[in-house]
Amino acid sequence: MTDRTNFFDKLLAAVENNQSLLYLALDPDPETLPALVSMTGEETQTFVTDLLSKLKSAIDETADLICACKITLGFYQSLGIPGWALLQEILTIIPPHLPVILDAKHCDLNTSTVFAKIVFQDWRVDAITLSPYPGFDQVAPFLLYAGKTVFVLCATANSSAADLQEYPTPNNPFYLQLVRLSQTWGTPEKVGLEVGVMPDMLARIRKEAPERLILVEGDIPVEKDLTEENDLAQLLAAGLSKNGEDLLLPVPPSLLAGKEPRREIENLRDNINQQRLRAIEGSPTCELWLPDVCFLQPEPHRDLILQLYDIGCVVFGDHVQASGAVFPYYIDLRKIISIPQIFHQIVSAYADILKNLKFDRIAGIPYGSLPTATGLALRMERPMIFPRKEVKTYGAGKLIEGHFQAGETIVVVDDILISGKSVMEGAAKLKSAGLNVEDIVVLIDHEQGVKDKMQVNGYRAHSVLALSEIAEILYRANRIDTEQFNLLTAEH
């Protein structure tokens, strides 16, 4: 079975690449199902075979329009042995770049440890929904798996659920107590929330949990008339985080059953993106970026490059570099930490390189790469250290900050590779403390043979982007003219 690694990494990549917050529920509409209880074994098997074909078609139709797939465990359980076989088959046909959420709403404390192993190790799904009524002890076994995410069911749209959810009073309801408590169980990347289609309740939950990922379950309104359009806008305004993200919405079954499902789902996705832009107009310090150009061929880091340019990370004019050289442009990456959408993408891009390297700890080079190194340490759950830019003349006078053991292997993270001087100086400080440094990872490589120079000095250099790649994308997107393209690609 395909290995599925970090849920958040895959989700952010899918959201960026497909520009979508929609997920595909791989379960048929219960109202369209035959009377399963009255079916013979042969009829059940025929039904399962036909259903697999329909679900595969839905995946093929929407794979580039969605950011995740969700499977409701209870439905497959209801089909007995053929249903279990169907579930396993579906897990093999979901594209590996799309994260899989198992909607289990598991609530049995006694089987949590075993079930967590089955779901995350054997089935290798990326996330699961849990009913948290037994408390943290119920959730804890699922939090032990690195890179996996738990969605806590905190509110449903079922009318009779209000008797419990709004107890003891509507002003201080149980579901908000649950939202507050669940945030103490894990980081935003480990614990999210599952909520029904209820804009008013969703708005209160978002206020209590501004940074949590919210999985919306139910049938969202489709924009076919003015009233429904307003309903969708209300739902998005209530559930989106301040940067226009952190909300997963289901593809409505009615669109999948329509005559032109792909066109209608694409229209819904585009309408949602328009509403996302409107919803965050009141948050000027945290803008949402969406692409405004179309390329015929896919480019893995196209949107990231365009975003870096659009927020002012590439500026022209003579600038003195740290090495003393004067370049007719300047790459300024200090802004990325203030824009979560871009910072998430950059950390994920670094993580894609680091996951293939062997190391014990991550080291950031002061000061530019320290936020990125910190983000990577949190994302990959690996310890971090850093060499001081200058040794303190007071206190302990440490050269290296953080806990480490001599003999450990360190991967060094920096922002830009121009001459290699500063990063090699930082690596030398680490080596002087008895640490091994073999790999250095940067966001941007200015090229001009610097990686070869690093190799001569005993380091393997890796980069997310090359300056020539940045120049090519910006030129093709009409962000820069021919003169500026030549400035970026000229040898210095």
Residues annotated within a binding site for 5-phospho-alpha-D-ribose 1-diphosphate: 388-389, 392, 414-422
Task: Tell me the helix, strand and coil percentages in the chain, rounded to 5.
Answer: 45, 20, 35
> What are the distances in angstroms from CA 369 to CA 7, 153, 315, 435, 443?
24, 37, 20, 19, 9
Q: Give the pair of three-digit tokens for residue 59.
A: 């995946």
Residues placed in the known binding site = 388-389, 392, 414-422
**The residue to which tokens 């799309």 are assigned:** 98
Whether 207 sits among the annotated catalytic residues: the reply is: no
User: What are the start-end ranges of the H helices in 185-290?
Assistant: 199-208, 226-239, 253-256, 261-279
Torsion of CA 267, 216, 253, 127, to 10 degrees: 110
Count of C-beta atoms within a 10 Å radius of residue 208 = 17
346 token code pair: 């950059």
Rounded CA-CA distance 146/243 in Å is: 26
The residues, ordered by sequence, that sit 6+ positions from 464 with a Cβ below 8 Å of its Cβ are 301, 346, 349, 350, 353, 441, 442, 443, 444
What's the distance, Cα to Cα, between the start and end of the chain in Å?
Answer: 49
Q: Tokens 């507050």 belong to which residue?
A: 180
Amino acid identity of residue 76, one-letter, is Y
Q: What is the Cα–Cα distance from 193 to 199, expressed in whole angstroms?
A: 15
Q: Are strands 384-387 and 361-364 parallel, antiparallel or unpaired?
A: parallel
Per-position b or e across 185-207, b if 16+ CB within 10 A of its CB? bbebbbbbbbbbbbbebbebbbe
Is the preceding peptide bond at 367 cis, omega within 30 degrees of 0? yes
Q: Which of 10, 70, 105, 429 is the catalytic position? A: 105
The secondary structure of 28-51 as a DSSP string is --GGG---GGG--HHHHHHHHHHH
Cα(425)–Cα(206) distance, integer angstroms: 45
How far is the C-alpha of 431 from the C-alpha of 191, rounded, in Å?
Answer: 38
Count, residues in the chain: 492
Residue 103, strand partner residues: 72
| Other beta carbons less than 10 A from residue 179's beta carbon | 23
**Residues marked as catalytic:** 105
